[in-house]
Amino acid sequence: MPYETDIKRMEEIAELLRDNQTTLDKAVALFEEGVKIANRVEKELTEIERKVEILLNPVQETEENTIRTEPFEAL
Amino acid sequence: MSDSLRNVTLSVGQITQLLKQTIEQSFYGISLRGEISNFRPASSGHWYFQLNDEAATISAVMFKNRHWKLSFVPKDGDVVIVVGSIGIYEKRGTYQIVCESMEQAGTGDILALLEQRKRLYEKKGYFAPEHKQPIPKDPKRVGVITSPTGAAVRDIIQVMTRRNDTIDIIVLPAPVQGEDAAAIIAAQIQAANRLKVADVLIIGRGGGSLEDLLPFSDPKVIEAIYASEIPIVSAVGHEIDWAISDFVADLRAPTPSAAAELVCSDKRARLEELASYRQSMTLAIRGRITLAQTLAHRFSLPVMSDYFMRTLQTIRMSLDYAKLSIGQQMHERIVRSKHALELVSGQLHNLSPSAILARGYSITMLEKTNEVVRESSQLASGDTVAIVLANGKLKATVVDGNR
| Residues of the domain holding B386 | 356-397
Same-domain status, B237 and B275: no
Q: Residue B368 carries which DSSP code?
A: T
* Distance, first Cα to last Cα, chain B: 205
- State how many domains chain B has: 4
Asked, for residue B343, whether it belongs to a domain, the answer is no
Report which DSSP code applies to B250.
S
pLDDT of residue B70: 85
Which of B317, B343, B378 corresponds to the end of one domain? Answer: B317
Task: Report, in this order, helix, strand and coil percent for chain B, each rounded to 5.
Answer: 45, 20, 30
Residues of A whose CB is below 8 A from B191: 55, 57, 59, 62
- Is pLDDT of B1 > 60? no
Contact A14 B190 (CB under 8 A): no
* Confidence band for B35, pLDDT divided at 50, 70 and 90: very high
Percentage with pLDDT > 90 across chain B: 72
**pLDDT tens digits, one per residue of B277-318:** 999 999 999 988 898 888 888 888 888 999 999 999 999 999
Split at pLDDT 50, 70, 90, the class of B75 is confident
Query: Is B294 found in the same domain as B281?
Result: yes
Question: Which residue in chain A has the smallest CA separation from B272?
Answer: A42
Least CB-CB distance to A67: which of B153, B173, B197?
Answer: B197
pLDDT at residue B78, as a whole number:
87
- B239 lies in the same domain as B118: yes
Q: Is B358 on the interface with A (CB under 8 A)?
A: no
Asked if residue B211 is part of any domain, the answer here is yes
Q: Looking at the structure, do residues B306 and B260 belong to the same domain, yes or no?
A: no
List the domain boundaries for chain A: 3-71
Picking from B153, B221, B288 by the largest number of A CB atoms within 10 A of its own CB, the best residue to mutate is B288
To the nearest whole Å, the CA of B316 is away from the closest chain A CA by 39
Q: Is residue B347 part of a domain?
A: no
Separation in Å, CA of B166 to nearest CA in chain A: 5
Phi, psi of A34 (to 5 degrees): -60, -40
Q: Report the alpha-carbon distance of residue B117 to residue B114 in Å, rounded.
A: 5
**B248 and B275 co-located in one domain:** no
pLDDT tens for each residue of B351-364: 888 888 888 999 99
Cβ contact A24–B289 (<8 Å) = yes
Q: Are residues B113 and B220 in the same domain?
A: yes
In a domain, B54, yes or no: yes
Rounded Cα distance, B189 and B225, in Å: 7
Residue B141: name the closest of A37, A67, A4 by CA.
A67
Looking at the fold, whether B194 and B280 belong to one and the same domain comes out as no
Sign for the pseudo-dihedral over CA of A6, A8, A13, A18: positive
* Confidence grade of residue A59 (pLDDT, cut at 50, 70, 90): confident
Both B145 and B178 in one domain: the answer is yes
* pLDDT over threshold 80, residue B108: no
Please report whether residue B283 resides in a domain: yes
Q: Is residue B344 part of a domain?
A: no
Which of A55, A60, A73, A75 is the best substitution to test chain B (most B C-beta atoms within 10 A)? Answer: A55
Which ranges constitute the DSSP H helices of B27-102?
Answer: 64-67
Q: Do B355 and B348 touch, CB atoms closer than 8 A?
A: no
Q: What is the pLDDT of residues A13-56, one digit of tens each?
A: 999 998 888 889 999 999 999 999 999 999 999 988 899 999 99
**Residue B2 — very low, low, confident or very high, per pLDDT cuts 50/70/90?**
low
Are B312 and B387 within one domain?
no
Cβ–Cβ below 8 Å for A18 and B287: yes
A9 to chain B, closest Cα gap in Å: 10
pLDDT at B403: 61
Check the CA dihedral B228-A60-B171-B140 and report its sign: positive
Domain annotation covers residue B349: no
**A48/B166 Cβ within 8 A:** yes
> Given this model, what pLDDT does residue B109 score?
75
Average model confidence (pLDDT) across chain B: 92
CB–CB of A53 and B287 under 8 A? no
What's B63's domain CATH number?
2.40.50.140
- Closest-CA distance of chain B to residue A43, Å: 10
Same domain, B150 and B93: no
Distances, alpha carbon B56 to alpha carbons A28, B33, B53, B347, in Å: 92, 12, 6, 168
Asked if pLDDT for residue B399 goes beyond 80, the answer is yes
For A45, the closest of B158, B168, B271 (CB atoms) is B271
Q: Identify whether B299 is part of a domain.
A: yes
Q: Are B179 and B218 in contact (CB under 8 A)?
A: no
User: What is this structure's pTM?
Assistant: 0.64
CB B349 within 8 A of CB B341: no
- Tell me the residues of A at the B interface, defined by beta carbons under 8 Å apart: 2-4, 7, 10-11, 13-14, 17-18, 20, 22, 24, 27-28, 31, 34-35, 38, 41-42, 44-46, 48-55, 57, 59-60, 62, 65-67, 69, 72, 74-75
Same domain, yes or no: B35 and B86: yes
Minimum distance, in Å, between the CA of residue B297 and any CA atom of chain A? 15
